[in-house]
Amino acid sequence: MTIGIKDVARRAGVSPATVSRVLGHGPVSAELRDRVEAAVRATGYRPNLSARRLRSQHSRTIGLIVSDIRNPFFTALSRAVEDAAYQSDMRVVLCNTDENPEREAMYLRLMQEERITGLIFAPTKATAERLDHTLLDFPVVLVDRAGPPGRHDCVVIDNPLACGALIEHLWEQGYRRIGGIFGNTSSTAVERHEGYRAAMAARGLEADVRFVAPNAEAAEAETARWLRTPGRPEALIGSNGQVLLGMVKALRNAGLGMPDDMGLAGFDNETWTELVGPGLTVVEQPVLDIGRTAMMMLFERLSVPDLQPRKVVLTGRLIVRGSTTRR
C-alpha cells in the first residue's frame, strides 16, 4: 500500500538495512548514499514513526500535562517546552486535566502507553502527593507546583517571597485590611496563601481569605459574594491570572473603582492586566525560563538517572501599576 523502506531499497538497488543507515547517519559509502537519497526523493518515502519507535525502543516524545491550556501561563509554558523539544528533535504530547485527578490519572496512563521518554507535569495537590516515580518508567519534572519535598525534580517560583512583596507593597500604599482569594487545587496556591499569612502576621494584620476553584467564574462569584458582606477589605489579592480576572469582573459589576474603592493585585502578567482600568499590579512569573529550565532538568535526569531530586526556585518580578497606587 504505502511505500516503505523496502520499496526504496529495491529502487536504489540496495538492502533495507542500507537505506535505514542512510536515514539514520550510519556508515554508508558516498555512492550508495546518493543512490538511496535519490530513491527517497523519487518515491516520496516517509518513515513510519510507529515502526521506528517500536523497533528502536525510544519514542523521542515528551509529555506535557497541564491543568488548562486556556490559561495563558500554561500556553506560554507549552510554547517554551515545545520549542525546546523540537530543537532536540523530539515531539510533545500535550494534555489538559481541568484540575481533575481522574483525568490526570488517565493521562498518566496514556503517557505510559506512549512510552514517552519524559514528562513535564503541573499536577493538582491530590495527585502530587500520590505520585510515585517508582511506578512510572520515565522521569518527571514538576512545574509551577511542587510535590512533597525530595521526591521529584521541580521548578517553581518563590511563592512566599512573591506574596511577601505583594503585601509589602500594599502596606506601603496604606492598605491595611487586605483579603486574599486562593485556588483550592494546587500546592502553589497553598504556598501563596502561606506567604500571604506570614506577611500579614509580620505586620500585625489579620488574614482574611477565601478558597475557590481556580477559574474566573468561581472567583467572580466568590468575590461578588464577598463584596456584599459588611466590613469588606480595602484591597484584595488573587492567586493566579484566572482568579484575578474573575475578581476584576466582580469589581466592575459592583461599580467599584481601583485603586480607591478597592486595591487589587495578584499573579501572572497576562496581556490584559496592563490594559484594564489603571493597570493591574501583578507578580510576573518567568514562564519561558520555567519551561526551558524544566526541559533542561528533564534532559539532565535522562542522562544521569540517579541524581538526587532537585528543586529549582526562580523568582517572580513585582510589576506595580495603578490598581494599587493611590497617592
Contacts with DNA by CB under 7 A lie at 1-2, 4-6, 13-21, 23-24, 26-29, 31-32, 45-48, 51-52, 54-57
Site of grid cell 506567604: 195
Q: Is 43 in the site for a copy of itself (CB under 8 A)?
A: no
Tell me which of a copy of itself, DNA, none is bound by residue 78, counting a contact when its beta carbon lies within the kind-specific cut-off of 5 to 8 angstroms. a copy of itself
**Which of a copy of itself, DNA, none has residue 21 at its interface (CB below 5 to 8 Å by kind)?**
DNA
Check residue 169 for interaction with a copy of itself (CB under 8 A): no
Question: What is the dihedral angle through the alpha carbons of 252, 169, 275, 249, rounded to the nearest 10 degrees?
Answer: -20
Which listed range, 65-73, 119-127, 153-161, 169-177, lies at the site for a copy of itself (CB under 8 A)?
65-73
* Shorter beta-carbon distance to a copy of itself: residue 196 or 267: 267
C-alpha distances out from residue 323 to 170, 186, 236, 256, 326, Å: 10, 26, 10, 12, 8
b/e burial code for range 128-143 (CB count within 10 A of at least 16 → b)? beebeeeebebbbbbb
203 binds a copy of itself (CB under 8 A): no
Quick one: what does residue 249 bind among DNA, a copy of itself, none, with the CB cut-off 5 to 8 Å set by partner type? a copy of itself
Lookup result for grid cell 518580578: 317
In the list DNA, a copy of itself, none, the entry touching 32 (Cβ below 5 to 8 angstroms by class) is DNA
Nearer to a copy of itself, 1 or 30 (CB): 1
User: Nearest Cα to 192, choosing from 282, 78, 84?
Assistant: 282
Cis previous bond, 286, omega within 30: no
DSSP assignment letter at 271:
G
Q: For CA atoms 216, 144, 82, 49, give the dihedral sign.
A: negative
* Residues lying near a copy of itself in the complex (CB under 8 A): 2, 44, 46-51, 53-54, 59, 69-70, 72, 75-76, 78-79, 82, 91, 93-94, 96, 109-110, 112-115, 135, 137, 216, 245, 248-249, 252, 270-272, 274-276
